[in-house]
């Protein structure tokens, strides 16, 4: 029997991919869900749905810390966490998801992995998976079946597949009431990395959680990542010369291209990282933000005084 490791986020296409893979390939399906901060209740609901739908096993991998440090902070410092008005948080998770899928496939002695992206072989996840391990058989059920969205729902009902939370009203779609009145928060950055909220030093996970609570309470749909992106962009514009700030936007475009091409694990990405590290040396300071009635704005951006740069000459003592 074929064993397939499926990237599983609890959506409709991913859910019906479990019985579809079993019927089409006679496969045992191992579902893999990444914990990127969705919350315990949400993740338990997703895991239970995978098992109830027919997955042999359902792994939930805690990737919160590495996701924030390796993906979100990189995107924030590169200026592309929010790109042309759209969040890149999900796209930044793709390389990490691919790495973990390959790891689980090796542990489970599976020679096939799968995803439910309808773009099939051109999907970023598909391309990254093939780049990491060309020997793996990468399956894309949503690119193979010819079902319309209505037919997918009917397919799910015929096979007693639990519908995802957004269709069934599960815990994943519960929202908190909006708190009246504005809130003001100061976010401090050091070399492009957020390190404190209201002058209290915090680890990135705690800082993001605090901003999420505040943003949700005030109806800000962009939540922590959108708030951080605006704060970082305002501070960078104040701290860097105009031409450097414009060049940073071009670097962000290159990161996005690498994500979409599935070329994340390439020397070019490392070169971009090095360039960002240089630019972010002077992006330190504090940004004051106001959140109110579903919106947020930068009140002030104060760069820290520039520190002298010491250059060590070759052969000097």
CB 231 within 8 A of CB 194: yes
Mean pLDDT over 304-313 rounds to 66
138: its two tokens: 């990468």
**pLDDT at residue 283 tops 70:** yes
Give the per-residue pLDDT at 314: 54
130-135 CB contacts, 8 Å cutoff, 24+ apart: 130/262, 131/262, 131/263, 131/265, 132/98, 132/99, 132/102, 132/265, 133/102, 133/105, 135/111
Going across the sheet that includes 295-303, the strands are: 200-201, 193-197, 183-190, 285-292, 295-303
Query: In 10 A of CB 59, how many CB atoms?
Result: 18
pLDDT > 70 in the chain, percent? 91
Q: Which pLDDT tens digit goes with each residue over 22-54?
A: 999 999 999 999 999 988 999 999 999 999 999
DSSP characters over 235-262: HHHHHS-HHHHHHHHHHHHHHHHHHHHT
**pLDDT at residue 75 tops 90:** yes
Give the per-residue pLDDT at 1: 64
Q: Which pLDDT tens digit goes with each residue over 189-221?
A: 999 999 999 999 999 999 999 999 998 888 888
Question: What domains are there in the chain, each with its CATH number?
Answer: 2-173 (3.40.50.620), 183-303 (3.90.1260.10)
Mean pLDDT over 115-144 rounds to 95
CB 8 within 8 A of CB 113: no
Torsional sign, CA 191, 193, 195, 199:
positive
**pLDDT at residue 172 tops 60:** no
| Cα angle value 269/68/58 (rounded, 5°) | 105
Neighbouring-strand partners of residue 59: 32
Calpha distance 299→77 (Å, rounded): 21
**Sole residue written with tokens 């414009």:** 246
Mean pLDDT over 224-228 rounds to 93
Q: Which pLDDT tens digit goes with each residue over 46-70?
A: 999 999 999 999 999 999 999 999 9
Using alpha carbons, select from 73, 11, 88, 5 the residue that is nearest to residue 42: 11
**pLDDT at residue 308 tops 70:** no
95: its two tokens: 């390389």
Using alpha carbons, select from 61, 104, 121, 122 the residue that is nearest to residue 113: 104
CB 24 within 8 A of CB 112: no
CA distance readout (Å), 91 to 71, 97, 178, 262: 9, 10, 28, 10
What values do phi and psi take at 119, rounded to 5? -75, -10
Torsional sign, CA 60, 63, 67, 68:
positive
Using alpha carbons, select from 60, 73, 118, 18 the residue that is nearest to residue 280: 73
Calpha distance 302→284 (Å, rounded): 9
Neighbouring-strand partners of residue 27: 2
**pLDDT at residue 266 tops 60:** yes
Collapsing DSSP to helix, strand or coil, 110 comes out as coil
140: its two tokens: 């894309």
């Amino acid at each position: 029997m074929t064993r397939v490791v499926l990237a599983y986020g609890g959506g409709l296409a991913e859910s019906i991919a479990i019985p579809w893979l079993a019927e089409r390939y006679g496969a045992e399906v191992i579902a893999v869900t990444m914990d990127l901060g969705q919350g315990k209740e949400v993740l338990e609901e997703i895991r239970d749905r995978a098992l109830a739908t027919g997955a042999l096993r359902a792994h939930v991998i805690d990737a919160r810390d590495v996701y924030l440090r390796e993906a979100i902070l990189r995107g924030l410092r590169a200026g592309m966490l929010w790109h042309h008005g759209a969040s890149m948080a999900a796209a930044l998770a793709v390389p990490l998801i691919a790495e973990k899928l390959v790891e689980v496939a090796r542990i489970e002695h599976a020679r096939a992995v799968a995803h439910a992206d309808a773009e099939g072989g051109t999907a970023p996840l598909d391309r990254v998976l093939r780049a990491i391990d060309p020997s793996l058989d990468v399956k894309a059920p949503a690119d193979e079946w010819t079902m319309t969205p209505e037919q997918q729902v009917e397919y799910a009902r015929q096979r007693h597949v639990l519908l995802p939370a957004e269709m069934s009203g599960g815990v994943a779609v519960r929202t908190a009431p909006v708190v009246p009145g504005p809130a003001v928060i100061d976010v401090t950055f050091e070399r492009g990395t957020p390190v404190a909220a209201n002058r209290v030093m915090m680890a990135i996970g705690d800082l993001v959680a605090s901003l999420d609570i505040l943003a949700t309470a005030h109806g800000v749909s962009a939540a922590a990542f959108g708030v951080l992106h605006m704060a970082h962009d305002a501070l960078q514009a104040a701290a860097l010369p105009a031409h450097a700030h414009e060049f940073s936007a071009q670097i962000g475009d290159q990161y996005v291209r690498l994500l979409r091409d599935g070329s994340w694990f390439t020397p070019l990405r490392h070169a971009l990282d090095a360039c960002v590290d240089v630019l972010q040396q002077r992006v330190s300071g504090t940004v004051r933000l106001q959140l109110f009635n579903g919106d947020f704005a930068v009140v002030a951006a104060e760069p820290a005084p520039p520190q002298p740069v010491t250059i060590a000459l070759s052969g000097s003592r």
